[in-house]
């Protein structure tokens, strides 16, 4: 178990961040172990054919047998939404001693794979060369495997952060962590992260807590080293919808009546959704969604309600009857 001891100031400095580099690095686990998450199999199948030009041996060696990853590959984001190149530049600045420490810690108690043997050199030059080669490889991998889907992923992650921020505002840290993941437990100012290989306690000491929602994290992922500041990547809500194909109307008559765009939209609204999330799922612009929602609302087929700064839309009882979808009372 890993524990983060958070004082009053640390709780006041709890914040969220988006990290394209985190997603890139964490996706390597799914790439290596397809059984880790069946949700990501469509993504994995689409990516495998694009990796022929990459050094997949070095890429896969970054994931240890116990699924741990070197901490230096996921530096703490310095801003809310850093660019991938900005984060990768921070990795390139990692001192050789830290690179060596993190690679050994991630793979312990196993020896380093042959592709990472440069980290065992007594001088720093081979370690620097290995670090730079890994950075160049991660940049190539990001461009072919993650970047094409990053806009949709970002919208999903932002929706998760909106939900978590509301939980924090309504019920404090206890409510924030209550449904984040079963492995998390908040008690007496300490966040306990269960089912971890490492066992240590980190006192935040004014460094705050950084929370990073992730598409590819299958469970909470804190740093391996106890020397790192409290940071936690955690599984985002709604990941099951990310690789789902465009929804289609069930009845041709409904399409004839409403038109295909409005019929697809109406079929999606069996749960309250904001405009940006609907646009992400349908892969259209938010302005187009707003126009269709205006017509559906004016005809009584959808209802709307404000939730903070968002307006949530849901199919009305009339819309349920028209589409043939019943709603459990």
Say whether pLDDT at 38 is over 90. Answer: no
Q: What DSSP string runs through 29-51?
A: HHHH-GGG-GGGHHHHHHHHTT-
Arithmetic mean of pLDDT over the chain: 90
Degrees to nearest 5, angle at CA 324 with 320 and 326: 55
What is the per-residue pLDDT for 329? 38
Task: Enumerate the β-bridge partners of residue 192.
Answer: 3, 185
* Residue 251 pLDDT class (50, 70, 90 cuts): low
For the sheet with 200-203, list strands across it. Answer: 184-187, 190-193, 2-5, 200-203
What is the per-residue pLDDT for 245? 62
Question: In angstroms, rounded to a whole number, what is the distance separating the alpha carbons of residues 276 and 149?
Answer: 16
The answer to whether 234 touches 155, Cβ cutoff 8 Å, is no
What is the per-residue pLDDT for 247? 47
Range scoring the smallest mean pLDDT among 137-146, 159-168, 197-206, 319-328: 319-328
What is the per-residue pLDDT for 131? 97
Range scoring the smallest mean pLDDT among 8-22, 191-205, 228-242, 249-263: 249-263
What is the per-residue pLDDT for 249? 43
* Residue 243 pLDDT class (50, 70, 90 cuts): confident
What is the per-residue pLDDT for 325? 62
Under DSSP, is residue 245 helix (H, G, I), strand (E, B) or coil?
coil
Which residues make Cβ contacts (< 8 Å) with residue 57, sequence separation at least 6?
115
Q: What DSSP string runs through 148-178?
A: GGHHHHHHHHHHHHHHHHHHHHHHHHHHHHH
Question: In angstroms, rounded to a whole number, what is the distance separating the alpha carbons of residues 315 and 85?
Answer: 42
Beta-sheet pairing, 190-193 with 310-315: unpaired
pTM: 0.74
pLDDT in tens, 99-123: 999 999 999 999 999 999 999 999 9
Q: What mean pLDDT do residues 211-219 have? A: 95
> Which tokens belong to 308?
């903070």
Range scoring the smallest mean pLDDT among 151-160, 222-231, 315-324: 315-324
Question: In angstroms, rounded to a whole number, what is the distance separating the alpha carbons of residues 323 and 258?
Answer: 11
Question: In angstroms, rounded to a whole number, what is the distance separating the alpha carbons of residues 32 and 46?
Answer: 14
* Residue 328 pLDDT class (50, 70, 90 cuts): very low
Range scoring the smallest mean pLDDT among 25-39, 192-206, 216-230, 253-267: 253-267
Question: In angstroms, rounded to a whole number, what is the distance separating the alpha carbons of residues 59 and 119?
Answer: 15
> Which tokens belong to 84?
């991938």
Taking CB atoms within 8 Å and a gap of at least 24, the contacts of 265-268 are 265/289, 265/292, 265/293, 265/296, 266/296, 266/301, 266/302, 266/315, 266/319, 266/322, 266/323, 267/323, 267/325
What is the per-residue pLDDT for 96? 96
Burial 139-156 (b: 16+ CB within 10 A, else e): eebbeebbbebbebbbbb
Residue owning tokens 């914040």: 15
Question: In angstroms, rounded to a whole number, what is the distance separating the alpha carbons of residues 270 and 273?
Answer: 9
Beta-sheet pairing, 231-235 with 210-214: parallel
Under DSSP, is residue 228 helix (H, G, I), strand (E, B) or coil?
coil
pLDDT in tens, 255-290: 778 888 888 888 888 889 999 999 999 899 999 999
Higher-scoring residue by pLDDT: 102, 321? 102
Q: What mean pLDDT do residues 295-312 have? A: 88
């Amino acid at each position: 178990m890993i524990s983060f001891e958070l004082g009053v100031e640390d709780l006041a400095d709890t914040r969220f961040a988006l990290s394209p580099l985190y997603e890139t690095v964490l996706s390597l686990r799914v790439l290596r172990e397809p059984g880790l998450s069946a949700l990501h199999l469509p993504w994995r199948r689409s990516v495998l054919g694009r990796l022929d030009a990459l050094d997949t041996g070095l890429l896969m060696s970054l994931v240890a047998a116990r699924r741990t990853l070197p901490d230096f590959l996921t530096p703490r984001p310095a801003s809310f939404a850093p660019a991938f190149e900005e984060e990768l530049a921070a990795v390139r600045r990692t001192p050789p001693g830290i690179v060596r420490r993190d690679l050994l810690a991630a793979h312990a108690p196993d020896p380093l794979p042959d592709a990472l043997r440069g980290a065992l050199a007594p001088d720093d030059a081979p370690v620097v060369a290995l670090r730079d080669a890994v950075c160049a490889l991660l940049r190539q991998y990001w461009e072919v495997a993650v970047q094409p889907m990053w806009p949709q992923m970002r919208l999903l992650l932002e929706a998760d952060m909106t939900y978590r921020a509301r939980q924090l505002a309504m019920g404090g840290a206890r409510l924030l962590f209550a449904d984040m993941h079963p492995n998390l437990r908040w008690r007496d100012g300490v966040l306990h992260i269960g089912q971890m290989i490492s066992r240590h306690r980190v006192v935040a000491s004014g460094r705050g807590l950084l929370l990073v929602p992730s598409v590819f994290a299958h469970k909470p992922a804190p740093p391996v080293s106890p020397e790192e500041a409290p940071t936690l990547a955690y599984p985002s809500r709604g990941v099951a919808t990310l690789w789902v194909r465009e929804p289609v109307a069930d009845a041709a008559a409904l399409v004839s009546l409403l038109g295909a765009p409005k019929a697809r939209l109406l079929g999606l609204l069996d749960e309250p959704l904001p405009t940006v999330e609907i646009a992400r799922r349908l892969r259209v612009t938010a302005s187009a969604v707003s126009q269709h929602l205006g017509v559906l609302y004016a005809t009584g087929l959808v209802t709307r309600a404000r939730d903070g700064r968002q307006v949530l839309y849901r199919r009305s009882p009339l819309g349920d009857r028209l589409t043939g979808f019943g709603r459990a009372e």
